[in-house]
Amino acid sequence: MGILYLVATPIGNLEDITLRALRILREVNLIAAEDTRHTRKLLTRYEIKTPLISYHEHNKEARLGELLGRLASGSSIALVSDAGTPGLSDPGYELVRAALDAGYTVTPIPGPAAPIAALVASGLPTDAFVFLGYLPRKTSENNRLLSGLVTERRTILAFEVPHRLRATLAAMEHAFGPDRPVAVCRELTKLHEEIMRGSLAEVRAHFESAEPRGEITLVIGAGDSALAWDEQAVREAVAQRMSRGLRRSEAAREVAAEAGWPRSKVYRLAEELHPEPVEERE
């Protein structure tokens, strides 16, 4: 049976590819690429002559059966995206899931990933983060998403396109406030790489006068959730978790971590909600 390899490719600079990735691209029977024209530039640079076919959002359903058939016949396939690690904000997930369900081996060949490159260069905390992919196109959906992230304690990563960047920064400033830290990482690893760091107000003002261009990754710092969560919100969160069957101590621990409140204070509120003695498990 063939193997499906998930091969990370450069996000800009063609030198950012591993020796193992080059070997796999040469050894597999087929390369499935999001954009064959884009991938062919990489293959030409490294004199790789492996057959190449397209696999993208618009043909993924038609191609899926063909690729699974190739794996069944013993062929190994390398899946690559336009840039970075396949499966992040591209149709790679469907192929990976189908290959696993059919019993084939799926092997990652790690390497470049724009969200991780942006995160580590942003100057914002890296210990916990959430990746949103591309933000919603509809204004109402985007505003709803942002409002739900006001108290997010993890660093937030998202992709955005140049023509929507100004509107997105304005929406974030409205939702998060002008002082929320942000880094706009543009054209990473390319000739015109730029990382603009500052508050939302500062960064938005910068791009009001500078035309946004290129591939953009946003890195947004955590909010002050201790201030954003009032007592009523904490009570409701505790009550919701306990209604799902969590013990008082477990509910208090989860809500304290999410809200940024001291655990002891959340536990006292939980006791007020359920003052009767209950068996606790530590």
CATH number at residue 50: 3.40.1010.10
Q: Is residue 278 part of a domain?
A: no
Count of domains observed in the chain? 3
Q: Last residue of some domain: 112, 144, 168?
A: 112
3-state secondary structure of 80: strand
Indicate if 205 and 218 belong to the same structural domain: yes
The answer on 108 and 10 residing in a single domain is: yes
Torsion, CA 229, CA 143, CA 89, CA 61, rounded to 10: 120
Question: Does residue 242 belong to any structural domain of this protein?
Answer: yes
159 and 68, same structural domain? Answer: no
Residues 52/85, Cβ–Cβ less than 8 Å: no
Same domain assignment for residues 10 and 82 = yes
* 122 plus 95 within the same structural domain: no
- Asked if residue 142 is part of any domain, the answer here is yes
Which of 93, 112, 131 is at the close of a domain? Answer: 112
CB < 8 Å & 24+ apart, contacts of 248-256: 248/274, 248/278, 248/280, 249/280, 249/281, 249/282, 250/281
pLDDT at 228: 60
Query: How much is the pLDDT for 275?
Result: 61
Does residue 236 lie in a domain region? yes
pLDDT of the residue at 224: 62
Residues 105, 131 within the same domain: no
Structural domain boundaries, residue 253: 229-273
Q: Is residue 281 in some structural domain?
A: no
- Tell me the CATH number at 126: 3.30.950.10
20 and 108 both lie in a single domain: yes
Is residue 191 in a domain? Answer: yes
Residue 79: in which H helix or E strand, if any? strand 77-80
- Among the listed residues 245, 34, 220, the one whose alpha carbon sits nearest the alpha carbon of residue 115: 220
Residue pLDDT, tens place only, 211-239 = 999 999 999 998 765 456 678 888 888 99
- Residue 59 CA, distance from chain mean position: 23
Q: Specify if 279 maps to a domain.
A: no
pLDDT by position in tens, the chain (length 282): 899 999 999 999 999 999 999 999 999 999 999 999 999 999 999 999 999 999 998 999 999 999 999 999 999 999 999 999 999 888 899 999 999 999 999 999 999 999 999 999 999 999 899 999 999 999 889 988 998 888 888 999 999 999 999 999 999 999 899 999 999 999 999 999 999 999 999 999 999 999 999 999 999 998 765 456 678 888 888 998 888 888 889 888 888 877 767 788 888 888 888 765 444 444
Domain stop point among 112, 147, 182: 112
Same domain? 201 vs 150: yes
The pLDDT score that the predictor gives to residue 279 is 46
Task: Count Cα neighbours of 282 within 13 Å in the Cβ-side half-sphere.
Answer: 0
Residue 282 inside a domain? The answer is no
Q: What is the per-residue pLDDT for 280?
A: 46
Q: What is the pLDDT of residue 277?
A: 46
Residue 82 and residue 69 share a domain: yes
